[in-house]
Amino acid sequence: MFEIRIHSRGGQGGVTAARLLALAAIYDGKHATAAPFYGAERRGAPIVSFVRIDDKPVRIYSQIRKPDMVVVLDASVMDVVDVLSGLKEGGKVLVNSRQKREFAGFKSASVDLTGIALKENLVVSGSPILNTPVIGALAKMGIVSVDSAKKAIKEMFTDERNVRVAETAYQELIA
């Protein structure tokens, strides 16, 4: 089982990113679940979401304490949350950043999700939407196929900008 923990802030699309990723994995013929963990948070508060992907049915819906991968949609979350907590040795880290971020003992990748969303004016209530571009970056990292990523995005959103930002993030990922 491959377990992913997504750290974001309320309103950025972290919960929807988890759902999109699970849907894309299902389109790839895998089994997957997505679950958010938050209370009565408001826009901008730290949020964590979880995705499990496996070849057999996933029957676990709890928090992920020892993920294989961590995705950080807002680097400022790292100032208040230990996003690497429990990350398995040799685990992967994907960070929304213009520059490559390194984490000792882990494989890291970066992509400017915020810049990509802003270039397409993919904004809701003044906040760039990061859920669809991050799916493109995760496809580039081999977590799901690019075709399944696009199919999942098209199922959830009709605005073509969502597919374009995923394609851009796929191309601009710095590994």
Tens digit of pLDDT for each residue in 39-55?
665 677 888 999 999 99
Q: Which two tokens stand for residue 172?
A: 């601009």
HSE-CB of 28 using CA atoms within 13 angstroms: 23
Region at 114 (left for phi over 0; alpha for psi -120 to 50; beta for the rest)? alpha
pLDDT at residue 98 in the model: 94
Domain that holds residue 47: 2-172
Do the Cβ atoms of 163 and 153 come closer than 8 Å? yes
E strand or H helix that includes residue 127:
strand 127-128
**Can you tell me whether residue 136 is helix, strand or coil?**
helix
CATH code for the domain in which residue 45 is found? 3.40.920.10
Q: If you average pLDDT over every residue of the chain, what do you get?
A: 94
* Tokens encoding 77: 């979350």
Count of structural domains within the chain? 1
Average pLDDT over residues 144-156: 98
Residues 58-105 pLDDT 10s = 998 889 999 999 999 999 999 999 999 999 999 999 999 999 989 999
Residues 113-137 have pLDDT tens digits of 999 999 999 998 888 999 999 999 9
